[in-house]
Amino acid sequence: MRGALHTAHLPTRWVEPWYLAYALLGMSVAGAVPILLPLLVSRLGSAADVGLVMAAISLGGLLAPLWGGLADRYRLHRGLLTGGLLLTAGGLAALPFAPLRAAWLGLALLQGLGASAASTMANLLVVEAHPEAEWDERLAWLQTFHDSGYVGGLLLTAWLSQIDLQLSLLAVASVTAVAAIVGGVMTRTPPGPRTPTPALFHPARHDEGTRLSPPHLYYHVGVQTFRRLAPALRSPFGRFLLTWMLSLSGSSAFFALYPVLVQEVFGIPPALSSLTFALAVSLRLTLYAPAGRWSHRLGPARLLQGALGLRLLAFGGLLGLGWLPMGSHSRLALVGCTLVVLCWAGLGVSSTTLTAHFAPDHEGAGMGLLNATSALAGVCGAALGGWLAARWGYHAALGLAVAGLTLGLCLSLTLRPKP
């Protein structure tokens, strides 16, 4: 009996070999692409092109419900996982050789669609193949593999960004292709049709925007979701979603342009900015548990306001430093960038808890709306930030982040969740 209990708590009980495919996807799409792709597009086009390309990738996150519906109806889990990974790999491999802006956007959209399909299937391969009691543990380990790949991709990019960017994207595409092989060989479509029920309503340790982490894409949103929650959009829940949209849009502009912005404004080379981002993400993983305790002690609204205020302070500092001579305060700029990333622990935990408070009777559907709002904010922020940077310089993208966070913070002061 003691041996059986010991085996039940072993990590290997919750880990499956195909998780490696998801780690490789995290390495390429979450870690390497957000650094390498803006650098390449900025050399071939303008800041507006960078924003539009990154927005096209984020647009794929809005179609997670489509992939989930196809998988449930036609039992295509394995095919959609493998096909999504291959589509992502193909988009990455072809993009360096695309001669026209329209081709960049089309290939970026294909990459976003493929990554969205693969990430959604990863979730369903867990929740449809295993009992509900095991979901939390298994998805937590799936998230651990994703985050390990994410940090590894950032570290890899610190080296790749110093070489030829076109060859670097080809290398990242090959990593994704290997993920497709692993996923195709090691996964099986779960037997029997079953509609997954949104569950796992707890503070999710995912990255912001549409970084394709498991908890982020698990909650599906469809037409029925909007019909059921239409009255709620005119309630405190709708005010919370507007707060979230404003706050995240400005930040999304910064993240979409990140490697080019810090290079052009602060004189920080891509290798150093990638290493800084990797360190910040690693440190942030240690803050989710304390953020959960702060949410319980102070309340999720106070935690949200504190995280927004701290991020606003960081962006305000970066905007001020940006007007000083380039390179004179690069270390302080790196501290500001790190603080921006760390704030997501408080934002991610508080947003999940506030959705539980405000979404009336349909918490899973409410989480779906929160994720749809996040994806939409990513699209709008990237496109608008790129346009502003092309017209008035990269300082304007930092100004957009400050403006969005200021409006979001002011609106968040009106949120009063019931105890």
Q: Is the pLDDT of residue 3 over 70?
A: no
Annotate 61-73 with b (16+ C-beta within 10 A) or e (fewer).
Answer: bbbbbebbebbbe
Q: What domain range includes position 53?
A: 11-412
pLDDT at 44: 87
Is residue 18 situated within a structural domain?
yes
The pLDDT assigned to 11 comes to 63
Say yes or no to pLDDT of 382 above 80. yes
HEC string of 57-99? HHHHHHHHHHHHHHHHHHCCHHHHHHHHHHHHHHHHHHHHHCC
pLDDT at 216 over 80: no
| Residue 31 DSSP label | I
Q: What is the spatial distance between Cα 121 and Cα 87, in angstroms, rounded to a whole number?
A: 14
Residue 350 contacts residue 409 (beta carbons within 8 Å): no
Task: Please state, in angstroms and rounded to a whole number, the distance separating the CA atoms of residues 338 and 211.
Answer: 18
Count CB neighbours of 327 within 10 A: 10
pLDDT digits (tens, 9 = 90+) for 329-378: 899 999 999 999 999 999 988 988 888 788 765 555 677 778 778 888 99
The pLDDT value given to residue 39: 94
- Report if residue 28 sits inside a domain: yes
Is the pLDDT assigned to residue 75 strictly greater than 90?
no
For residue 211, pLDDT beyond 70: no
- Window from 136-140, 274-278, 298-302, 405-409 with minimum mean pLDDT: 136-140
Whether 126 is covered by a domain: the verdict is yes
Place of tokens 């498991």: 214
* Mean confidence (pLDDT) of the chain: 85
Does some domain include residue 351?
yes
Is the pTM above the cut of 0.85?
yes
In a domain, 15, yes or no: yes
Average of pLDDT values for 20-32?
Answer: 94
Q: Return the percentage of the chain with pLDDT > 70, whole number.
A: 85
Mean pLDDT of the region 191-203? 51
What is the pLDDT at residue 9? 52
- Whether 230 has a pLDDT exceeding 70, the answer reads no
Structurally, the chain folds into a number of domains equal to 1
State the pLDDT at residue 219: 53
User: How high is the pLDDT of residue 215?
Assistant: 52
Q: Which residue has the tokens 């899973």?
A: 364
CATH of the domain at 402: 1.20.1250.20
Q: What pLDDT, on a 0 to 100 scale, did the predictor assign at position 381?
A: 95
Query: Is 161 among the domain residues?
Result: yes
Residue-wise pLDDT tens digits, 140-175? 788 889 889 999 999 999 998 888 899 999 999 999
